[in-house]
Structure 1
Amino acid sequence: MAKLFLPHRSTRGLSRRSLLKGSVATLGTAALLDAIGLAFPGGVPSAHADTPETTKATLGYIALTDASPLIIAKEKGLFAKYGVPDVEVVKQASWGATRDNLVLGGSANGIDGAHILSPMPYLISAGKVTQNNVPTPMYILARLNLDAQGISVSNEYKDLKVGTDAAALKAAFAAKKAAGKEVKVAMTFPGGTHDLWLRYWLASAGVDPDKDVSTIVVPPPQMVANMKVGNMDAFCVGEPWNAQLVNQGIGFTACTTGEIWQHHPEKALGMRADFVDANPKATQAILMAVMEAQQWCDRMENRQELAEIVSKRQWFNVPVADIAGRLKGDIDYGNGRNVKGSDQYMKFWQDFASYPFKSHDAWFVTEDIRWGRFEPTVDVKALVDKVNREDLWRAAARTLGVPAAEVPTSSSRGKETFFDGKVFDPDNPTAYLASLDIKRVA
């Protein structure tokens, strides 16, 4: 039987089997039922009244640390615990491949859902990144993590002391272009989170990501190899690839993305709308398994084991040392800055990390308007309301018995302030756009 990870500390460590075995001889029927209720506030998993419509689903993932909740849900038997034992977690070669497989769908040998860049379900649902611009409706069910991506720069620029402030790169990039050389910066998918972090960072320093440099697409696992052979000057990607770059002495981390926007949203659990609509009980089972996995991943005492699990050949196939340090907040930036126990570690559950705030999705859509991915006339609120299913997250949280203190009271986290002082008010995206100097929208 898989180990159970209980949300309440008072009952953590009890298995269903040991609870029943140890209590039956000493408790009366009523007392035994009370004990079971304390240990399993959402009900005994194998006795769900709502049997999932299907036990199967195929979920994609990219070899990035923020895919950990899906991997742990599989490795620790949590999908089976909630009645969907045949859920598969399948590696994808790139975010482009993830998109293509989502368009195909699980019934056509594609995938039903994925660990995904938070803006992608919006871009796919609107047909902005699909073949012939044909929409494939999707839902966001949960956020998978906050923070812990990185912007890394080639050692060619190490003497410039580039950090969150990238101003020193403006002149360096201009000089390189004047010498007839191309300046290339890489992200993982057009309009995705890494694209937006990189663009925000460059634009804040007066570097236009469309005019002053060539912004290219490179799959996350190929970032380090490409910088090693000189194919790029900087990149933005999730871990463990920034850490691996430093560990191999190829480049340095200018900043973590949490230093650009503290406690920012990152990846999501996204699924095809038709799967969710046809299989609401199976969807809730998948969501609960992932949420419980997030609780496990979030505990600092589990971080080393987490790194050892995801490092395996069948998952990431990278050294544990490239994963474990930054998971714990120990960051060697590779430029002489080495911070132990920082707050720039990945959050999987704390600070409402799992809850998909609509206000955050409004920022993603607004930034994609900024860079021309969406038309300026798009109704941000209507689009977010269509794709973001925070109601399903809340239903799963109730069934899991998540304490009220761990459930947000609003679908908005309110105004967000960035490192350069810019403020995003989700109730007034237009004012935010107007405050930005470099953009593709008037």
Structure 2
Amino acid sequence: MVASAIGNNSISAQTSDYSVAQINNNLWNACPCGADHNADQHQSVMEGMPTDPVELVNDLMRMGHYSDRAQLMAQSWETNAMKADLWQLLEQGSLSHASESQKRICYDLIKMAGGVEEAFNAAFGPQAQEFFTDTLQSSTFRRREFLIKVAAAAAVVTLTGCPSTPPPETPSKATTNTPNTPPAGVEKTNLKVGFLPITCATPIIMSEPLGFYTKYGLKVELVKMPSWAAIRDSAIAGELDAYHMLSPMPISMSLGLGSTAFPIKLASIENINGQSISVANQHLGKVKEAKDFKGFSIGVPFAFSMHNLLLRYYLAAGGLDPDKDVQIQVIPPPDAIAKMTAGQLDAFLLPDNVVQRSVFNKIGFIHLLTKDIWAGHPCCAFAASQKWIDTNPNTYRAINKAIIDGAGYANDPKHREEIAKAIAGKNYLNQPEPVLKAVLTGKFEDGQGNTFDIPDRVGFDPYPWKSFAKWISSQFVRWDLMPKDKADYKTIAEQIYQTDLARELAKELGQTPPTETERIEKLKYDSFDPAKPEAYIEEQIKQFKV
């Protein structure tokens, strides 16, 4: 139950010249409704949708059928209209001669700002866009006006052939006026990095729109991947330069667990915490603790994942045998919502944006945050193959530094809303911004009627503790994912987790990384001493009988 587990924390449009042929092609394939799907897909998309046109646009937008460009264009139109109305009313000095719609917008703006003068300053000051965005979201009247403009803007995008992705935003204050020449000796500057669309990859993803790669003279193309198996196979094939990986993957891949042995180095941790257990709403009120999961079908993203290991740890401590009392399925995160909606999953332990989406879609509720199983546990990482690093050592250092820089920026709570907006688009996570804000700010609803404010729901500490590698390896042995004879804990930690390099780069950035490489890891039901991994496994089996 999340209450007990968590505790008491309670644009303007830019146009270009397009040929007649391009416009005709867009018209030929476009759906007349203006949404971002083809005409032959319209019937399947519309089944079960609202009949009210404005509500229909709202649902289509939430489902991702209206492009980012159309939404930004509509927001620009609505913002300009709001500014014009407010300016006219303030010039008149009275609302007596205003139209009903003008009165409503003025009341909305004044209420949001806290006074007439404050509204004027907000509307024409440096934070105007944020002010108008907040008003659009809080006012039902303005929201309907905005949705009408979304449909109109979508038609403009379709007719003109405007690209679906939004124009680049002004770089963050953290990255303006910074050098963009590559560091000396960099072997290549154009890179491709594979990622899964989850909030765990935040530093890797946000470093593109917020300029952290260009700060180090790199041009990085982010390549969205469908699953962890696809990332593993792509890395072995050498298709891309570097990858977003689960923190156990460099170990499993280097040792040949579940695949051909292929040496991978873990450069830095991407996120700590940031996962949770979602349970399907059909079980609401019935699941209070681990033993209540007996007989469930539970999804995890990969066998060699922190999700699988933490789920097994939690269930075993609660008296269940994870291999006998439940069915653990490997489910790619992008597929989890559909699987739960279809009744194919009773629960899943996945990244927080997927779990929060289950609450947003009203199909699941949050049972437990993984930070309450192990506060500060690692999840995802930035990694590259030994072969690629040997060929591009300076490039590897530069991109790792860019990501560690980005992680430091992301770890500051004051940047979380900016980051949520930057990574929400279709090219990145393709998620509703409110879902990402709930994850990144820690202000969220659990689907059980509770609202929480937990700032450390997810963190972005890039330091790769070698004790992480040893705990992961110990659990591989415990759950028969790795033979005991391959469990050379010290060698695994020393050769795969590049703690010293991460510390060196962090110091160059002015960060204050730890000086130690290991620590005692304190989990919910026990503590892990990295000097005694074999004894830890024996004690776990003795205590929990599995």
Q: Is the 8 A contact 1:371 1:440 kept in 2?
A: no
Secondary structure in 1 aligned to 2:348?
strand
Q: Distance in 1 between matches of 2:424 and 2:478?
A: 37
Structure-2 residue corresponding to 1:71: 205
Give the C-alpha shift of residue 296 in structure 1: 2.1
1:427 to 520, 531, 535: 531
Equivalent of 1:345 in 447, 457, 479: 457
Q: 1:47 to 1:224 in 2, by over 3 A?
A: closer
SS of residue paired to 2:322:
coil
Q: Distance in 1 between matches of 2:382 and 2:170?
A: 23
Consecutive unaligned residues of structure 2, counting only runs of 5 or more, are 1-168
| Paired AA for residue 379 in structure 1 | D
CA apart distance, 1:83 = 2.3
Given that residues 125 and 137 in structure 1 are in contact (C-alpha distance below 8 angstroms), is that contact kept between their aligned partners in structure 2? yes
5 Å-filtered alignment, 1:46-125, equals 46=181, 48=183, 50-85=184-219, 87-105=220-238, 110-125=239-254
Structure 1 residues 307 and 118: alpha-carbon distance in aligned structure 2, compared to 1, 3 A threshold: same
Distance 1:218 1:291 in 2: 29
Distance of aligned partners of 1:318 and 1:2 in 2 relative to their CA distance in 1, 3 Å threshold: closer
C-alpha distance after superposition, 1:234-290 (max 9, x if no partner):
111002110010111111111010010011111111111111122111111101111
Letter in 1 for 2:234: N
Q: Distance in 2 between matches of 1:161 and 1:230?
A: 17
Residue 372 of structure 1 aligns with which residue?
480
Distance in 1 between residues matched to 2:277 and 2:454, nearest whole Å: 17
State the distance in 1 between where 2:324 and 2:420 align. 39
State the TM-score, normalized to the length of structure 1: 0.81
Q: Structure 1 vs Structure 2: percent identity of aligned residues?
A: 30
Structure 1 residues 205 and 61: CA distance shift in structure 2, 3 A: same
Q: 1:294 aligns with which of 399, 402, 407?
A: 407
How far apart are residue 301 of structure 1 and its match?
A: 2.3
CA distance in 2, matches of 1:118, 1:240: 18
Distance 1:246 1:111 in 2: 34
Match of 1:362 in 2: 470
User: 1:435 aligns to what SS in structure 2?
Assistant: helix
Paired residue type of 2:247: S
Partner-residue secondary structure (3-state), 1:253: strand
* 8 Å contact from structure 2 (residues 360, 435) kept in 1: yes
- What is the aligned partner in structure 1 of residue 50 from structure 2? none
The CA distance in 2 between the partners of 1:342 and 1:2, in whole Å, is 30
Q: What residue in structure 2 maps to residue 19 of structure 1?
A: none
The whole-number CA distance in structure 1 between the counterparts of 2:364 and 2:482 is 34
In 2, the alpha carbon distance for the partners of 1:259 and 1:80 equals 37
**2:501 pairs with 1:397:** no
Does structure 2 retain, via aligned residues, the 8 Å contact 1:150–1:256? yes
Instruction: Give the match's secondary structure for 1:232.
Output: coil
Aligned twin of 1:40: none
SS at match of 1:76: coil
Which one has more relative contact order, counting CA pairs under 8 Å at least 6 apart?
A: 1
Give the match for residue 29 of structure 1: none
Q: Residues 14 and 63 from structure 1, CA distance in 2 versus in 1: closer, same or farther, beyond 3 angstroms?
A: closer
Computed over aligned residues only, the root mean square deviation of the Cα atoms, in angstroms, reads 2.2
Letter of the 1:397 counterpart = A
Q: Distance in 2 between matches of 1:215 and 1:187?
A: 7
Distance 1:382 1:192, change over 3 A: same
1:385 maps onto 2:494 in alignment: yes
1:216-365 map, 5 Å:
216-339=329-452, 341-348=453-460, 353-365=461-473
Deviations 1:150-198 (A, max 9, x none): 1111222212242xx313334xx3xxxxxxxxx3111000121111121
Equivalent pair of 1:361/1:384 in contact (CA under 8 Å): yes
Aligned length: 377
Q: Is the 8 A contact 2:369 2:457 kept in 1?
A: no
Structure 2 length-normalised TM: 0.66
User: CA deviation digits over 1:284-331, x for unaligned, max 9?
Assistant: 110111111112222222211211121101111121111111211113
Determine helix, strand or coil for the equivalent of 1:74.
Answer: coil
- 2:331 is the counterpart of 1:212: no
Please list, as runs of the form range in 1=range in 2, the aligned pairs for 1:405-416 lying within 5 A after superposition.
406-412=512-518, 414-416=519-521
Aligned residue identity for 1:433: I
Distance 1:438 1:250 in 2: 38
Q: String of CA shifts for 1:387-421, please: whole Å, max 9, x gaps.
A: 11122212322432x24xx2111111x2122212x
CA–CA separation in structure 2 for the residues paired with 1:314 and 1:231:
28
Structure that is richer in helix per residue: 2
In structure 2, relative to structure 1, the CA distance for the partners of 1:255 and 1:47 (3 Å cut) is closer
More displaced 10-residue stretch of structure 1: 51-60 or 184-193: 51-60
Deviation at 1:338, TM superposition (A): 2.0
Q: Which residue of 2 aligns with 1:136?
A: 262
Distance 1:123 1:438, change over 3 A: farther
Report the CA distance shift for 1:47/1:263 in structure 2 as closer, same or farther (over 3 A).
Answer: closer
Given residue 504 of structure 2, which amino acid in structure 1 is its aligned partner? A
Q: Distance in 1 between matches of 2:171 and 2:424?
A: 21
Q: Which runs of 5+ in 1 are unaligned?
A: 7-12, 17-43, 174-182
